[in-house]
């Protein structure tokens, strides 16, 4: 089969698998994650053992893997079912209290200089029950408190919990501590970024090396895919191409 025909066939197969997955209920995930370890693949293989970010994207990938294995995964599954790979804090609160998103315009950018970070946090929403300075607050329902849980030290968190709940500190002071912690995280990133901004070729070399390495592993994965589907890139005498 010619390369273009194979590409078209694979594309239609993936479309069929992804659309069919919405017509049937999802299969339960094995408690021991046996599907993830199917065929003892290299953990770096391009088979989506782990995915991060949007969990709906992960679930769609899981559905496609299940459907593909259902049709072609004999005697052993071809694709493992990916598992979410999340940090302890799956979402960051934005300055308006919603999840941080550029579409909401509530972000603190990785490239924001310290004055911008402090200005953004200064206007961040807080516990709605804390209307006046002497009103006690609750860091557990405050977006600024959520930032502290992610970025601040245990010592700072202890001061936040004590000061906020007793109204011993105001929201401005609390936001300042959060800004201190955030700047400490962002500054080293920005320092490392500057090297690549000054010499973009370094970043390009990393991308090229990564692409070449991923391509080799992806080729091996696609070899398994074609074998399971009975497809080949080579001429096979006596077989209708």
Compute the distance between CA of residue 39 and CA of residue 47 in angstroms, rounded to an integer.
Answer: 11
Distance CA(234)–CA(31), nearest Å, equals 40
DSSP lists the bridge partners of residue 99 as: 93
- pTM, to two decimals: 0.68
Return the sign of the alpha-carbon dihedral for residues 36, 37, 40, 42: positive
Residue 125: what pLDDT?
A: 97
The pLDDT score that the predictor gives to residue 13 is 53
State the pLDDT at residue 86: 80
CATH H-level, domain 102-198: superfamily: Tyrosyl-Transfer RNA Synthetase (1.10.240.10)
Domain coordinates of the chain in residue numbers? 3-86+220-229, 102-198
How does pLDDT run along the chain (241 residues), one tens digit per residue? 444 555 555 555 555 544 444 333 333 333 333 333 333 444 444 565 655 456 778 889 999 999 999 999 888 999 999 888 887 787 899 999 999 999 999 999 999 999 999 999 999 999 999 999 999 999 999 999 999 999 999 999 999 999 999 999 999 999 999 999 999 999 999 999 999 999 999 999 999 999 999 999 999 999 999 999 988 888 777 766 5
Residue 149: the pLDDT is 95
* Phi and psi torsions of 40, nearest 5°: 50, 50
Helix (H, G, I), strand (E, B) or coil at 84: strand
pLDDT for the residue 57 = 82
């Amino acid at each position: 089969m010619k390369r273009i025909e194979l590409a078209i066939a694979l594309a239609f197969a993936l479309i069929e698998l992804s659309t069919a997955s919405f017509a049937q209920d999802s299969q339960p995930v094995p408690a021991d994650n046996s599907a993830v370890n199917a065929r003892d693949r290299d953990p770096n293989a391009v088979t989506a053992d782990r995915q991060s970010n949007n969990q709906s994207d992960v679930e769609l990938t899981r559905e496609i893997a299940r459907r593909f294995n259902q049709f072609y995964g004999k005697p052993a599954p071809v694709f493992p079912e990916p598992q979410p790979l999340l940090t302890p804090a799956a979402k960051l609160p934005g300055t308006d209290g919603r999840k941080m998103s550029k579409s909401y315009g509530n972000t603190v950018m990785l490239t924001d200089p310290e004055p911008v970070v402090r200005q953004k946090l200064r206007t961040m929403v807080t516990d709605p029950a804390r209307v006046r300075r002497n009103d006690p607050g609750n860091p557990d329902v405050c977006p600024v408190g959520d930032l502290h849980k992610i970025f601040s030290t245990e010592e700072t968190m202890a001061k936040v919990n004590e000061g906020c709940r007793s109204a011993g500190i105001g929201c401005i002071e609390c936001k300042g501590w959060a800004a201190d912690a955030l700047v400490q995280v962002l500054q080293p990133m920005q320092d490392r970024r500057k090297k690549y901004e000054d010499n973009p070729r370094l970043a390009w070399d990393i991308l090229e090396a990564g692409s070449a390495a991923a391509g080799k592993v992806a080729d091996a994965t696609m070899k398994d895919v074609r074998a399971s589907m009975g497809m080949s890139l080579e001429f096979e005498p006596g077989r209708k191409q």
